A = this chain, B = another copy of it.
Amino acid sequence: MKLYNEHYPAPNPRKVRIFLAEKGLNIDLVHVPMRDRAHKTPEFLAKNGLGQLPVLETDDGRFISESLAICRYLEELHPVKPLFGKAALDKAMIEMWIRRAEFRLWMPMSQAWRNDDPRTEAVVKTRFKEFGQYSRTQVAEAMNWIDRELGDGRPFLAGHGFSMADIVLLCGVDFAKFVNMPIPAEAANLQRWHAAVSARPTARA
């Protein structure tokens, strides 16, 4: 099994690396340098027609795209220390918070990156700058909303235990910072959460 990977700050491969580290799993990493557009070559497009990272290649030569599909697959094979929850309601809460982090934070974050960051200007053909700027306000709103949600004192996004929802939020928050959207100073609960999950050794995976 191997994982086609790109280094930090690429947020999607990072989710899988942190997941692997939390589970104590080792998989061969194959570096696909996005800066050289290696993810858009015919060779790579044969693995994922969308030209996106990460991709997992199974031992029998099947390819799985989408970081969450990869992590769920690995959780199926290695159920010990579940990161998608164990009881039905825990699983539901984790899935709910994964999606809320994606739709509320990741989605406008991606739009800011595509439409309003000088580093994507050369590769994104059609940009909507005002929409990208508006997306930045949506990211700040999302962070403030999550901050209020964490105000009930729970240590992790989906409840008492560290989960995939924390991995999704961490990689989103850190990439947002890379796109010049740091956590607002007044979002003390989110700051506290971020310090705690960043202090886990797996955050450096």
Contacts and interface: CB of A to CB of B under 8 A. Distances in A.
A130 B128 CA distance: 8
Interface in A61-116: 62, 64-66, 68-70, 72-73, 76-77, 88-89, 91-93, 95-96, 99-100, 104, 107
Given A77-B88, A89-B58, A149-B49, A69 B130 contact: no
A26 interface: no
Nearest to A58: B89
Interface in A148-181: 149
Given A68-B95, A93-B64, A95-B68, A88 B100 contact: no
Contacts of A70: 92
Contacts of A64: 89, 92-93, 96
Contacts of A65: 96, 100
B50 A62 contact: no
